[in-house]
Structures are given as structure tokens and as C-alpha cells.
Amino acid sequence: YKDGKKVENGISGGKAGVTWPGEMWKNGGAATWLGGTYDPDTDSLFFGTGNPAPWNSHLRPGDNLFSSSRLAIDPDDGSIKWHFQTTPNDGWDYDGVNELISFDYEENGKTVKAAATADRNGFFYVLNRENGDFIRGFPFVDKITWAEGLDPETGRPIFADGGRPGNPADLDGNKGETVVAQPAFLGGKNWMPMAFSQDTGLFYVPSNEWSMDIWNESVSYKKGAAFLGAGFTIKPANDEYIGVLRAMDPKTGEEVWRYENPAPLWGGVMTTAGNLVFTGTPEGYLKAFDAKTGEELYRFNTGSGVVGTPVTWTMDGEQYVSVSTGWGGAVPLWGGEVARVVKDFNQGGMVWTFKLPKDRVAAK
């Protein structure tokens, strides 16, 4: 109950059977497998939700709320204040779990309380964090095949003809028509957090350029068993690089600068008040870039792939950067042809600390 009224399905204002067929919502997935954040300005908890199950979207017609979404939750009672769904009726495993970062910007003499997220589906979204309204959205990857774009009023995807994996029921009932989808299900950006600089007003997005062959299969729910109903193979989109660190302007959608990396980028990004952008690579490098120009200013090979997010801290008037290293995770496990690029990388497992030069320390 909320405010004396019964709440169906444990969802504030929800009605059973509207966006899911029958009772499929009971095993429909949508886990919040990345940590959330708290926004004091709106007194809201922000969480992203995973993809719906099974992957075969033909078995669950409808938007499948609240999967592949960003949620604002009231911390006092757990009710959903607003939601924004990035991929309704997700058929590509485009989880909506990526972080939602609060930021303010000025427009027409007014302060806009916004929040931004770079989704696995390849689109970057700017939302009003007070009510969840869509402000703007744009691609942050070089190619998107599953959608032609976003509705400028609502932000809903405009699905591309032939972009969804086929229905097994249309063929022999075991395997549907295969499509080439870009980005791959590992995402235009995955779990690794992007960063925002209050000085430049830019977001720094660790992204990847890859595609996948994906097809749907027949599947039945069995407790404790994988509930996919799909098969896939991931492929690099380019011969020279997969990872791209991008500086994106949230007000215009412009890519201000980019750094291309041979292997996928799978580590988080950090900005500093000294206008530095730090991230790591699977090849083992911790790298620092100029936040305004993208010039690579520093690199250090740690000896093992970097998946962790750098952090900064101060002691005795000095500023330091630390990062944990150690390679593994989803890319070598699920990466298909991409896994060949990273198969010889060292796993490792260490913590490294570096001291910033005086001219790059934040002014006190």
C-alpha cells in the first residue's frame, strides 16, 4: 500500500498484464546489477535496470516495463517517482543498467537540472532529473542498425525495418532469421562509468565499436536455468580499433574529440579539476588525456589489463591517482571474434598509485 491505496505488482501505479503478456513479468529479469546513485537536489535514488528475459522478444510483446530503463526511486518508501525506458521490448540485450550522472547546465538564462546516460544501445540521453522528461538524445557510436533514431518528443527509439532478430515461429520453430546488429550486446558502452567535467561541460565516454550476428531460438522457462532464447557472435567493426574514448557535448551531441584503442575499452573514466581525463586499457596502460583537446599526456604500463576505475585523493598537500588492475570479465568470456584480440593479455591484480605534477593539481 502507498498513501492508503493498493499497489499492484509492487509497482507504484502499475497495472498487471499491460506491458508484459500474462505473467511473464514474474521471470522477466531486469536486475539492477550496477550500483545506483543518490541525487540530493531531487531526493532521488537513480538506478538502471537490465534487459528483459528471455532475449527472444517475440515471446513477450509489449514495452516490458520496467526493463532496460532508468528509474528515480523515492528513498523514503521505495516507490518509483519516474522512469525512462531506453529500449522498449528489448530484443538485443541492451541492458539499461549504465549510470545516470546528475549535472546542471545553463540554457536561455535558466539552470536545467539534468542527468545523462550513455546506453548500451548506442544512444546518449539527456533527461530532466526532476521529472524524467526527455530533453535530447543522439548516437555516441559510429553506427546503429537496430533503430533509425529517436522520437524527438519522447526519446522512444524508431525501430529499423529488419533490425530485430527474427521470430523462430516464422521458420521451423527452432531458430529465427539472423540479423547483424550494431552495437553488439556488450554495448556501445557497458558498465564502465563515464565521467563529467564541470570545467569543460563535456562527458568522457568509454565506448566500443563492434557488431554481432544474433538470432532467436525457442526457449521455455525453467527455474535455475539460463533463459536466453538467442544465440550470438560478436565481431569487431573495424580492423584498426575497437575501443573509442569520446568527449561528448551533452548540449549539442557533438563529439569534441576521440581516442581510438586497438582493444575494447572496459575500464571506467575519471576527470580532475586540473583538466585531466584518466582511463585504463586492456593492454595494461593507465593513460591521462587533456580534457579540452584529447592530447595524450601520459601513459604507464601496469603489466596487466585495466578494468577498474581510477580514483583521486589528496594527502599532505599532494594529489594522487590510484587504480586497480587485473584483466578478465565479459569480453574474453562472451566476446566471440573480439576475444582473439585480448586472449594474450596478462590477468594480473595490483593497485597502482601515481602523484600528479604541480601544474595539474586542482587549485585550492
pLDDT mean for each 10 residues of the chain (364 residues): 46 66 90 91 97 95 96 96 97 96 94 97 98 98 98 97 94 88 97 96 98 94 90 95 98 98 97 96 97 97 94 94 92 86 88 90 58
Question: Among residues 218, 127, 233, which one has the least CA distance to residue 182?
Answer: 233
Identify whether the C-beta of residue 259 lies closer than 8 Å to the C-beta of residue 266: no
Q: What is the pLDDT, as a whole number, of residue 260?
A: 98
Decide: 246 and 140 in contact? Cβ < 8 Å: yes
Residue 150's SS3 state is: strand
pTM for this entry? 0.93
Q: Please report the pLDDT score of residue 8 as a whole number.
A: 47
Q: Which three cell numbers stand for residue 93?
A: 540485450
- What CATH architecture applies to the domain 263-364? Beta Barrel (2.40)
**Residue 11: predicted pLDDT:** 45
Predicted confidence at residue 362, as pLDDT, reads: 64
151 as an active site residue: the answer is: no
Active-site position among 93, 142, 344, 359? 93
Closest by Cα among 39, 205, 49, 50 to 129 = 39
Which residues belong to CATH 2.140.10.10 in the chain?
Answer: 8-262
Q: What is the pLDDT of residue 9?
A: 42
The CA R_g of the chain, rounded to the nearest whole Å, is 21
CA distances from 48 to 12, 157, 197, 358 (A): 17, 18, 22, 38
Parts of the chain belonging to CATH 2.40.10.480: 263-364
Q: Provide long-range contacts, Cβ within 8 A and 24+ apart, for 75-82.
A: 75/38, 75/43, 75/44, 75/45, 77/2, 79/2, 79/7, 79/12, 80/11, 80/12, 80/13, 81/44, 81/132, 82/131, 82/132
Q: What is the pLDDT of residue 16?
A: 64
Question: What pLDDT does residue 12 have?
Answer: 41
Domain covering 8-262 in this structure, CATH number = 2.140.10.10
Residue 177, C-beta contacts closer than 8 angstroms, at least 6 positions apart: 165, 166, 170, 171, 215
CA–CA dist 238, 264 (Å, integer): 11
Q: Rounded to whole angstroms, how far apart are CA atoms 58 and 218? A: 10
Grid coordinates given for 242: 575497437
Nearest to 163, CA basis, from 144, 150, 176? 144
Angle at 133 between CA 196 and CA 113, to 5 degrees: 40
